[in-house]
Structure 1
Amino acid sequence: MVDIGIIGIILIVLNFLISNKGFSSRAFFDKYKFQVSSILVGREYVRFISSGFLHVGWQHLIFNMITLLLFSSSMENVIGSIPFLAIYFAGLAGGGLLALFIHRNHNDYSAVGASGAVCGVVFASIALFPGSDIGFFGIPFGIPTWLYGTAYILYSIYGIRSAKDNIGHEAHLGGALVGMITAIIMYPVVLQTNAFTIALITIPAILFIIFITVRPHSLLVDNSFFKSSHNITIDHKYNIERNIQRQEIDRILDKINERGMNSLTRQEKERLEEYSKHS
């Protein structure tokens, strides 16, 4: 039986409750998801945290929560609830910050998921418990943490560069790196006991971040779900979205005038309420 700590239980419950709310309410989902234009223009910084408790579907949610369950059970019981919570939210913030940095000029970029936080927990565990193996369902043997960590970082770097899928590799990489660094700050002794694994993971990640800082145009971000709009500024994008929103509100108000308030759907009522709060 998995001996999971109380903080791990609370985080999993919160993820299920908030994600389920996002599944049933598109307005709620849009209001709290990670979105570049809303953060940089609207200064809605709460999205850094709120987006980490939303998911695109049950499969996305369950996969993240199973991973969190497996790693939080050992970590929280060894290092304590408060350090574990600090690592979790450090990974969440680190994933969001790296995604924002990489996509700061990609106005339509948005993301959700606890992947950054979960990766922070996973890679903090790799740093804190040297010599351990990581097991996966269906595989009869464990994979050394140093090998898993190195392969994961290299795959994340490849995923960011190639954009051949729609996975938030930026959040994975940022969360993993910041989660590991947070664990090292808390327990610097691991630099002596696990220096080889830490170096294999952190050096490629840091070099890649330096590379994209110097040569941001090297990123290949276009795919079937996201097309970068290099000729549209964030301010222009914001104005376009505001015009679209006003047109939708005008349509809803016309419907109220013609048929009454009771004719509105739940989604239309949520849109009207959300607009009234921000107008």
Structure 2
Amino acid sequence: MEKIGIAGIILIILNTIISYKGFKNSAFLRKYAFQIDEILVHKDYKRMITSGFLHVNWIHFGFNMASLYFFSYCIESTVGIFSFLLIYFGSLIGGNLLALFIHRKHGDYSAVGASGAISGVILGAVALFKNMEVGLLFTTFGIPGWLYGLVFIIISIYGIKSQNNSIGHEAHLGGGIIGLLIAIALVPGVTAQNPIPIILVFVPSLIFLSIIFIKPDFLAVKKLLSEKPEGLLDVDDRYNIDKVTKEEELNALLDKIHNKGIHRLSKIEKERLEELSK
């Protein structure tokens, strides 16, 4: 039977409680999800962390928590609780930062899930343990850690470039690379003991990340040409549009109060008035 450490147990409990609340309350989910404009325009930076404890459904939740269960203990028992948490949260933030950069002009882009953090834990383990094998789900077979890492990176890079599904490949790649780098920083000797998986994962990732930072248009795909122009506005443009929209909405509510009295506002309108007045 697999073991699990204290940090792993706490993270699974927190993910369970917060994800369950998100399943039951869509407003709660929207309030704490990773959402580009809420982060870049409204400076709601807490979403960089809170989104990692929310999930779309029980299947999404189950896969992430199963991965955390299988991989967390080997790292936690080797580097300690604090260092394990550093890998986990560093990977979560790193994955979201890459998603933030890639989707910075897509204001309505939204995502939830612990996948970035989990990816960092998995690739951190692949880097730390030379003869590690990754078991294939529902089978007794496993593949070498270096091969898993290489396939993981290839799939993530292809997913980011093609943008043909709703999977957060950016968070996977960003989180995975940060997890690997933190693990190496914590145990520097692994670069000499376990060079193959580290090279196979890091080198193609570094090349790809260098390309998208130097030439952002590399990620442009045909389907983006059919999006509304607003989807390609920069942060300042979206901030100004949002500000004007809110001012118009507030003025409309104030006009209604002036003409009909505040008692004629609905409960939703009163809540919106309070929100806009902050």
Question: Does TM-score exceed 0.5, indicating one fold?
Answer: yes
Whole-angstrom CA distance in 2 between matches of 1:231 and 1:102: 12
For residues 4-15 of structure 1, what are the structure 2 equivalents within 5 Å?
4-15=4-15
Whole-angstrom CA distance in 2 between matches of 1:184 and 1:190: 6
Judging changes above 3 Å, is the alpha-carbon distance between structure 1 residues 270 and 195 closer, same or farther for their aligned structure 2 residues?
farther
Deviates more, 1:34-43 or 1:158-167: 34-43
Judging changes above 3 Å, is the alpha-carbon distance between structure 1 residues 240 and 152 closer, same or farther for their aligned structure 2 residues?
same
Helix, strand or coil: the match of 1:143? strand
User: What is the Cα-based RMSD across aligned positions, in Å?
Assistant: 2.8
Deviation of 1:259 after TM superposition, in Å, equals 8.2
Helix, strand or coil: the match of 1:28? helix
Deviates more, 1:165-174 or 1:215-224: 215-224
Amino acid at match of 1:234: V
For residues 1-279 of structure 1, what are the structure 2 equivalents within 5 Å?
1-220=1-220, 227=227, 229=229, 231-241=232-242, 257-258=263-264, 275=275, 279=278
Whole-angstrom CA distance in 1 between matches of 2:168 and 2:184: 25
Deviation of 1:63 after TM superposition, in Å, equals 1.0
Judging changes above 3 Å, is the alpha-carbon distance between structure 1 residues 217 and 246 closer, same or farther for their aligned structure 2 residues?
same
Unaligned runs of 5+ in 1: none
Structure 1 stretches (4+) deviating beyond 6 angstroms?
243-251, 268-273
Amino acid at match of 1:20: Y
Maintained 8 Å contact 1:119/1:175: yes
Q: Deviations over 1:248-271 (max 9, x none)?
A: 8878x98x834875xx6xxx8976
Whole-angstrom CA distance in 1 between matches of 2:213 and 2:228: 18
- TM-score for the superposition, normalised by structure 1: 0.86
Maintained 8 Å contact 2:79/2:186: no
Unaligned runs of 5+ in 2: none
Maintained 8 Å contact 1:164/1:223: no
- TM-score for the superposition, normalised by structure 2: 0.86
Larger radius of gyration: 2
Whole-angstrom CA distance in 2 between matches of 1:236 and 1:100: 17
Helix, strand or coil: the match of 1:7? helix
Whole-angstrom CA distance in 2 between matches of 1:122 and 1:208: 20
Whole-angstrom CA distance in 2 between matches of 1:5 and 1:67: 14
Amino acid at match of 2:146: W
Aligned residues: 271
Deviation of 1:37 after TM superposition, in Å, equals 1.6
